[in-house]
């Protein structure tokens, strides 16, 4: 039977790579070197998609005044000219701001990393620094669980969040596309979006929230009223769900990022996966196929 190497906690591994762990001797700490800024390229593995122009300008001014206080983490990559070139693993915001500050060289720590290692570090670095939007954060947690076999407790410990925070954030991915778009553009906050998760069809309520400019507390009240409305469909009332089944439904919903229902019948039953749009279906199929 092959042995599996026990991996360090995500946050601890990031600290070691940057030489911040107290157990390291001076000789063991990574060496920082200066490399030309044009020799560094961004990574397709970067989980962050949105960079605030105002924040980049502010950081660029700070770099002009004080320089780059923490080196970028890069990995060596080959190019067609056989010249030294590096790919960013952590620090793209600093790299972009350094370009605006007209720096010719930047401090880096170079590490040889596989794609999965680089992706894991990039995700954790952004999560620990709280540099991600709510949806980027949700996607990052989802990727850590899907691609690295982490569970919610592992992820929560690694990034210093509660398990419930991780679970509720991942559930944002179950919102329909139009609601996620409102969240991405800032029309809705993460607090608004979490409240909307209680509705089977949150899109109409989301539109009303934006139209009326409701705050999170008013949104929660609106959702409670919607949930309390009697159903107009003349369907047979569903049988009450026992505590064990409800717990399993909740666990599966958190893991998959969509609503899951279980209906028992004798020794068997049915497990139903509910998706709100084609994007959710695509993510679910990719997850089931192990991609």
Q: Compute the average pLDDT of residues 207-231.
A: 87
% of the chain with per-residue pLDDT over 90: 18
Instruction: Please say if the pLDDT value at position 45 is more than 80.
Output: no
Selected residue with higher pLDDT from 258 and 61: 61
- Average pLDDT over the chain, rounded to whole? 78
Question: What's the confidence (pLDDT) of residue 24?
Answer: 46
* Structure confidence by residue, pLDDT tens digits, 238-272: 555 566 777 677 677 767 777 888 887 777 888 88
Mean pLDDT in residue range 79-89: 75
pLDDT band per the 50, 70, 90 thresholds, residue 133: confident
According to the per-residue pLDDT averaged within each range, which of 70-79, 119-128, 245-254, 277-286 is highest? 70-79
Q: What is the pLDDT of residue 4?
A: 37
95-112 residue pLDDT tens: 999 999 999 999 999 998
Catalytic residue list contains 117: no
- Residue 47 pLDDT grade (very low, low, confident, very high; cuts 50, 70, 90): low
Active-site residue, selected from the candidate residues 20, 83, 85, 92: 92
CA-wise closest residue to 109 among 126, 120, 94, 97 = 94
Q: Residue 287 burial (CB < 10 Å; 0-12/13-18/19+)?
A: middle
Structure-model confidence comparison of residues 64 and 52, the more confident one? 64
- Within the chain, where are the H helices? 10-17, 53-66, 92-100, 115-129, 134-148, 152-159, 163-170, 177-185, 190-196, 203-212, 216-228, 243-256, 278-288
Residue 189 makes CB contacts below 8 A (sequence gap 6+) with 134, 183, 216
Query: Whose structure tokens read 């949806």?
Result: 135
The SS3 assignment for 5 reads coil
Look at residues 173, 143, 169 and name the one whose alpha carbon lies nearest to residue 287.
143
Higher pLDDT, 235 or 36: 36
- Say yes or no to pLDDT of 7 above 70: no
| pLDDT of 6 strictly over 50 | no
When pLDDT is cut at 50, 70 and 90, the band that residue 231 belongs to is low
For the chain, domains (ranges, CATH) are: 10-132 (3.90.1530.30), 175-228 (no CATH), 243-288 (no CATH)
Which residue would you say has higher pLDDT here, 222 or 78? 222
Q: pTM for the whole thing? A: 0.58
Six-digit token string for 73: 């983490």
Give mean pLDDT, residues 125-130. 69
């Amino acid at each position: 039977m092959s042995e599996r190497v026990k991996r360090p906690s995500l946050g601890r591994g990031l600290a070691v790579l940057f030489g911040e762990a107290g157990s390291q001797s001076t000789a063991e700490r990574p060496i920082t070197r200066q490399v030309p800024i044009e020799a560094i390229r961004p990574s397709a593995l970067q989980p962050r998609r949105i960079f605030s122009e105002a924040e980049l300008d502010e950081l660029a001014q700070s770099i002009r005044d004080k320089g780059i206080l923490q080196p970028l983490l890069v990995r060596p990559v080959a190019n067609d000219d056989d010249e030294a070139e590096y790919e960013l693993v952590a620090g793209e915001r600093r790299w972009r701001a350094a370009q605006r500050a007209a720096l010719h060289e930047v401090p880096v720590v170079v590490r040889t990393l596989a794609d999965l290692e680089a992706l894991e570090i990039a995700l954790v670095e952004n999560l620990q620094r709280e540099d991600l939007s709510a949806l980027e954060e949700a996607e990052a947690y989802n990727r850590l669980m899907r691609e690295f076999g982490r569970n919610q407790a592992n992820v929560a410990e690694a990034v210093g969040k509660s398990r419930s925070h991780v679970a509720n954030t991942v559930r944002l991915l179950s919102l329909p596309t139009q609601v996620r778009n409102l969240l991405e553009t800032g029309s809705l906050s993460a607090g608004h979006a979490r409240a909307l998760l209680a509705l089977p069809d949150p899109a109409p309520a989301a539109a009303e929230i934006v139209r009326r400019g409701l705050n999170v507390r008013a949104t929660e009240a609106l959702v409670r009223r919607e949930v309390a409305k009697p159903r107009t469909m003349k369907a047979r009332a569903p049988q009450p769900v026992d505590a064990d089944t409800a717990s399993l439904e909740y666990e599966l919903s958190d893991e998959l990022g969509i609503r899951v229902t279980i209906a028992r019948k004798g020794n068997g039953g049915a497990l139903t996966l509910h998706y709100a749009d084609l994007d959710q279906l695509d993510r679910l199929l990719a997850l089931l196929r192990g991609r």
